[in-house]
Amino acid sequence: MTEISYLAIGPVIALTLGVVLVLLVEVTYKPKVTWLGAIAALSLLAGFALSVAQWIEASDDPIIRFRGMLALDPFAAFGSVVLTVLGAVALLVAWPLIVIQGRRAAEFIALVLLSLTGMILMAGAAHFIMLFLALEVTSISLYVLAGFARDNADSNEASVKYFLLGSFASAVFLYGVALSYAATGSLSLYGAAEFLNENLLLDSASLLAGIGLLIVGLAFKVSAAPFHMWAPDVYQGAASGVSGFMTAGAKVAGFAALARVAVTSYGPYISDWAPAVAVIAAISVVVGTMLAIAQSDIKRMLAYSSIAHAGFILTGLVAGIDGVPYVWFYVVTYAFQVLGAFAVVSVVSGPAGTRSPLTDYAGLAQRAPVLAGSLALLMFSMGGIPLTAGFLSKLYVFREAVDAGYLWLVVVGAVASVAGLFFYLRVIVLMYMNPQSEEGGVGETRVGDPLRVALTAVAVITLAFGIVPGPLLDVVTSALPL
């Protein structure tokens, strides 16, 4: 039997300890919020260090731990490296929001760390039950975070909507797990793969139905169309300071889980599920782009654009295991971009604000060159202009999809990405080319130090990996599941 390896859950322990400590210190000492932040930072740092240790350990000797529950492989390790960094940047972005929470700050920080714990487990889960638990830890924390501003009607609506639809998706996911179990007799991701490799199913209907439901459940979590209905309301209704984290974290973890399930458990059935994924990808890209054009609120626009990006990422997944590195490349760089974009929004609309009409951005370049410059860079990158990570991400996933024979999907994606430029550019036009509106400076423009650090990090990631993708490519090409 497997011995206990604490390294496999190292980052999880670090973050969980952080959660417990933050809450305990809060009730016993009622310290300044800075101290709580320091505890969170320490636990994230420890989590990051342990994730790196995992990476070093796992790249030589990937293994399944905890009686088949958790994988200690480069895929999981990379996921947890990315998520801890993402969590740190997200806390920096959310810092102004945390500060104004007063005595509820501890809960907020604890929820962020807790959801990160769930996300890390999603990337590492090797067992459907583990995956389901991780999914629920993540989702429930995010439901609460979405409605954290109790007295704001938009936030309440967002939270309830997210909760109801999210629970529904979890149920669909569970149903998929049950059907898959019925077909393969195993709840382990790898057990299912082993069974499918060794046996030929006489009737694959229940397996295919199971795979379909699993994909739908996870597609919901990553807000791919047509399972996206909740996303715009939730991202808009959540406080601006935290919407970015919700989008980015859910995408990274959701795609990690989806990629692992698809290519390991159901790898042999790729010719069955890849067309379905391709159709979801195409719908997401088209629906996300078309509806984003019609938005007049930047948060809703970013939400719809994130639906389109989910479609682009799925485009990479149709290539199966070959596409996984580029799925990583895309989702990681995109996660930081969307975090950065919402960071700018959180300044303009106020960290606790929920609505952020595009008109607030008129003439932003004059009022706040740093904010406008960052947002412009991110818009160009999301639009896929070369020399940004966004361009290379698209190039890579397109290439994989063409290699896998999905030329039609690439054509849809390429055309949609051009249509997408329309709304990304509109933001830039507003910021740089429109004069400031008559009422003068709508919205706040002061950028605090934490936010400045976060924006710098995001800009560096977007540009550096857009020009010199080599280092990240090397890492993602070895960040494969066991």
Residues binding another protein: number (CB under 8 A): 30
What's the closest the beta carbon of residue 51 comes to another protein, in angstroms? Answer: 25
460 lies in the binding site for another protein (CB under 8 A): no
What's the closest the beta carbon of residue 422 comes to another protein, in angstroms? Answer: 6
- How far apart are the C-alpha atoms of 346 and 352, rounded to whole Å? 8
Phi, psi of 71 (to 5 degrees): -95, 135
In the bound state with another protein, the residue whose beta carbon lies nearer, of 2 and 322, is 322
422 lies in the binding site for another protein (CB under 8 A): yes
* Selected binder of another protein within 418, 456, 460, 471 (CB under 8 A): 418
* Selected binder of another protein within 35, 66, 190, 432 (CB under 8 A): 432
463 lies in the binding site for another protein (CB under 8 A): no
What's the closest the beta carbon of residue 273 comes to another protein, in angstroms? Answer: 22
In the bound state with another protein, the residue whose beta carbon lies nearer, of 304 and 380, is 380
Of the ranges 6-14, 107-115, 258-266, 394-402, which one interacts with another protein (CB under 8 A)? Answer: 394-402
What's the closest the beta carbon of residue 249 comes to another protein, in angstroms? Answer: 29
421 lies in the binding site for another protein (CB under 8 A): yes
Nearest to 180 by CA among 205, 198, 197: 205
327 lies in the binding site for another protein (CB under 8 A): no
Checking 415-421 for CB contacts under 8 A at 24+ apart, the result is 416/285, 416/286, 416/288, 416/289, 416/308, 416/311, 417/285, 417/289, 417/312, 417/383, 417/384, 419/289, 419/290, 419/293, 420/289, 420/292, 420/305, 420/308, 420/382, 420/383, 420/384, 421/383, 421/384
Give the angle subtended at the CA of 182 by the CAs of 179 and 188, to the nearest 5°.
90
Encoded one letter per residue, x for contact with another protein by CB under 8 A and - for no contact, window 353-392 reads ---------------------------x----xxx---x-
SS3 string, 85-143, reads: HHHHHHHHHHHHHHHCCHHHHHHHHHHHHHHHHHHHHHHHECEHHHHHHHHHHHHHHHH
403 lies in the binding site for another protein (CB under 8 A): yes
* Selected binder of another protein within 38, 164, 429, 460 (CB under 8 A): 429
Q: Please report, as ranges, the residues that interact with another protein according to CB under 8 A.
A: 380, 385-387, 391, 395-396, 398-399, 402-403, 407, 410-411, 414-415, 417-418, 421-422, 425-426, 429, 432-434, 469-470, 473, 477
